[in-house]
Amino acid sequence: MQLTDAERAMRDGDGGEAVAAAMDLLIRYGEALGADRLVKTDNVAGAFNASTPSIRPIAERGMEEVFSKLNLDSDKTVEIPHMAARTCQLITGLDDQNWALQGADPQLVEMQRKNEAFIGRRGINLFATCTPYQVGNVPTFGEHCAWMESSAVIYCNGALGGRTNVEGKESAGAAALTGRIPYWGYHLTENRYGTRRIRVDVPVETMMDWGLLGYFTGEMVEEAVPVIEGQVSGVDLIRLKHFGASAASSGGVEMYHVPGHTPEARSAEEAFGPNRAEEDFTYDATARKRMYEMLQSATDRKVDFIMLGCPHNSIEQVGRIAHMLDGKRLHPDVVLWVHTPRAIREVAVRSGYVGLIEAAGGTVMSDTCPAISRRIPAGTRVIATDSAKQAHYLPAIAKVQGWFGSLEACISAGLTGQWTGDF
């Protein structure tokens, strides 16, 4: 690993013990990956929170120890200085306002608040969402980032043209303290070109369509870089967010191109660069139906819990849900949680959307999601969601049955208590 003078100085302790530990971690990590140098980053999105019961014994000894252990993988507790890079907190396990509805213990909430005060003082912006790009962290084209969370990473690479691999808690912590990350994987131009082609032979337009296409793409290409060509339309933040989250769930996709729409693919030629498609896959009506069926893990049509907002909803999505629920009332046996970043929730309160959702009997939650918190309403047996990612993970995590469908189908189930689907 070649180091600059500044990096060597950090390793040798010029920035203090925490920075030295961080640099040591990055060097070992980079060497294991085969990176020959580090790259500067001023954009880190990581997980620095203390919101799980297993952290409590460490947190009781102090937040320096939590950061040292969890974000630097250090057995020695070191003093944590202000972050060197612009850094934000991703999703956490608790909604700071609605934690009682989640069934969380007040002591855990107190621990999370103490931890947030600690990391906030050290320059970590508490966005508390898996969609930092919706609330102020929008990487510039080609910007080197160190992000965690698969749906955020694929959005950063594919939709925005930022450059990141999927980092872990430790490498993100080390990057935040040093402003460096190993230069490998999707930081390198040659790894960002397409290697597989998805031919879309059925119209893909709605958010559900894009989620299903993403699920197919991940299943087919696994960790390769797909180029999506054919009958796609309506490309926007919401659709790309769902496409990416879904592709990163059924496969390990971290980068993709939609020629004419995504920033590194003004054409299919540009998307593939020097590569040729090693394989072509056709997404047609049969494949679409197969994906839809794969995402249904329920048989019981009596629904208890509707989860909307995976990845976290945009303000337009919250507004749409509010409009659909305006003047209506959820079925008394159904709980509806709408998830959105806290900053967007503030706008939704001011816009009257939260009031409309609450008047219908729903709750707008922030900071967390059921798959990450592993908390769902007590007694839930059957869930319904408009997110392919949540339908992929939550039934296994929470040991429940799951329905996947459009937002309209989910709202309808919320009002009637029955899943009818809409395929």
CA angle centred on 128, ends 127 and 133, rounded to 5°: 55
Binding mask 39-78 for ligand F3S (x = CB under 6 A): ----------------------------------------
Token pair belonging to 26: 């990055």
Which range touches ligand F3S (CB under 6 A), out of 100-108, 216-224, 305-313, 412-420?
A: 305-313
Single out the residue of 41, 151, 246, 385 in contact with ligand F3S (rule: CB under 6 A): 151
Q: Which is nearer to ligand F3S, 182 or 218 (CB)?
A: 218
Of the candidates 178, 166, 175, 169, the one whose C-alpha atom is nearest the C-alpha of residue 67 is 169
Provide the residue type at 109 as one letter.
Answer: V
Binding mask 378-407 for ligand F3S (x = CB under 6 A): -----------xx-----------------
- CA dist., res. 388 & res. 392, Å (int): 6
Under the binding rule (CB under 6 A), the answer on residue 371 touching ligand F3S is: yes
Least spacing, CB of residue 52 vs ligand F3S, in Å: 14
Provide the residue type at 238 as one letter.
Answer: I
- CA dist., res. 294 & res. 290, Å (int): 6
- Which CA distances in Å does 360 have to 329, 336, 341, 344, 367? 4, 9, 21, 20, 22
Single out the residue of 91, 315, 354, 411 in contact with ligand F3S (rule: CB under 6 A): 91
Q: In sequence order, which ranges of 181-336 are alpha helices (DSSP H)?
A: 207-221, 237-250, 268-272, 285-294, 315-325
How far does CA 92 lie from the centroid of its chain?
11
Single out the residue of 369, 383, 388, 413 in contact with ligand F3S (rule: CB under 6 A): 369
Q: In sequence order, which ranges of 235-341 are alpha helices (DSSP H)?
A: 237-250, 268-272, 285-294, 315-325
- CA dist., res. 423 & res. 280, Å (int): 26
Under the binding rule (CB under 6 A), the answer on residue 22 touching ligand F3S is: no
Which range touches ligand F3S (CB under 6 A), out of 65-73, 304-312, 346-354, 413-421?
A: 304-312
Q: Is 382 exposed, middle or buried (0-12, 13-18, 19+ CB in 10 A)?
A: buried
Which range touches ligand F3S (CB under 6 A), out of 116-124, 165-173, 306-314, 343-351?
A: 306-314
Least spacing, CB of residue 373 vs ligand F3S, in Å: 9
At residue 258, φ and ψ (nearest 5 deg) are: -125, 95
What's the N-to-C CA distance of the chain in angstroms? 53
Q: Which is nearer to ligand F3S, 151 or 195 (CB)?
A: 151
Least spacing, CB of residue 407 vs ligand F3S, in Å: 15
Q: Which is nearer to ligand F3S, 66 or 91 (CB)?
A: 91
- CA dist., res. 395 & res. 40, Å (int): 40
Beta bridge partners of 382: 401
Single out the residue of 311, 362, 402, 405 in contact with ligand F3S (rule: CB under 6 A): 311
Q: Which is nearer to ligand F3S, 218 or 311 (CB)?
A: 311
Half-sphere exposure at residue 260, Cβ-oriented, CA atoms within 13 angstroms: 8
Least spacing, CB of residue 142 vs ligand F3S, in Å: 25
Total residues in contact with ligand F3S, by rule CB under 6 A: 13
Least spacing, CB of residue 372 vs ligand F3S, in Å: 5
Q: Which is nearer to ligand F3S, 139 or 311 (CB)?
A: 311
Binding mask 330-349 for ligand F3S (x = CB under 6 A): ---------x----------
Q: Which is nearer to ligand F3S, 63 or 130 (CB)?
A: 130
- CA dist., res. 193 & res. 221, Å (int): 14
Which residue has tokens 């949540």? Answer: 390
Least spacing, CB of residue 26 vs ligand F3S, in Å: 25
Binding mask 232-251 for ligand F3S (x = CB under 6 A): -------------x------
- CA dist., res. 100 & res. 89, Å (int): 22
Single out the residue of 72, 80, 364, 372 in contact with ligand F3S (rule: CB under 6 A): 372
At residue 373, φ and ψ (nearest 5 deg) are: -75, -25
Contact positions toward ligand F3S, by CB under 6 A?
91, 130, 151, 245, 310-312, 339, 369, 371-372, 389-390
